[in-house]
Structure 1
Amino acid sequence: MNFRLAEDGDIDRLHTLIESAYRGESAKRGWTHEADLLGGQRTDRKSLKAIVADPDQLIWIAESEEKLRGCVQLSRVGGGLAYLGLLTVDPGVQAGGLGKLLLAHSEDYVRTNWQSEAIEMTVIKQRVELIAYYERRGYQRTGEYRPFPHGDTRFGLPKTKLLEFAVLRKQI
Structure 2
Amino acid sequence: MTEIVIRDATTADIPALHQLIESAYRGEASRAGWTTEADLLAGQRTDPEDLASILADPAQAMLSAWRGGDLLGCILIADRGEGTGYFGMLSVSPTLQGGGLGRRLVETAHAALRDRFGARQVRISVFPQRETLIAWYRRLGYEPTGDTLPFPYGDPRFGLPLRDDLHFIVMERPLA
TM-score (norm 1): 0.98
* Partner Cα distance (2:159, 2:116) in 1: 32
Q: 1:11 aligns with which of 14, 28, 47?
A: 14
1:71 corresponds to: 74
Q: 2:91 aligns with which of 82, 88, 91?
A: 88
After superposition, the C-alpha distances for 1:10-47 in whole angstroms (9 at most, x for unaligned) are 11110000000000000000000000110000011100
1:24-103 alignment to 2 at 5 Å? 24-103=27-106
1:127 aligns with 2:130: yes
State the Cα RMSD in Å: 0.6
Figure out how many residues of one structure are paired with residues of the other and give that number.
172
* Partner Cα distance (1:74, 1:10) in 2: 16
**Residue 111 (structure 1) shift:** 1.2
Note the residue ranges of structure 2 that are not aligned, 5 or more in a row: none
Letter in 1 for 2:14: I
TM-score (norm 2): 0.96
Question: Identity of paired residues, percent?
Answer: 45
**Residue 141 (structure 1) shift:** 0.4
2:111 corresponds to: 108
Structure 1 stretches of at least 4 aligned residues deviating more than 6 Å after TM superposition:
none
Note the residue ranges of structure 1 that are not aligned, 5 or more in a row: none
**Residue 113 (structure 1) shift:** 2.2
Give the match's secondary structure for 1:46: helix
* Partner Cα distance (2:116, 2:15) in 1: 27
Give the match's secondary structure for 2:63: strand
Q: 1:117 aligns with which of 120, 132, 135?
A: 120
Q: 1:143 aligns with which of 139, 143, 146?
A: 146
Letter in 2 for 1:25: E
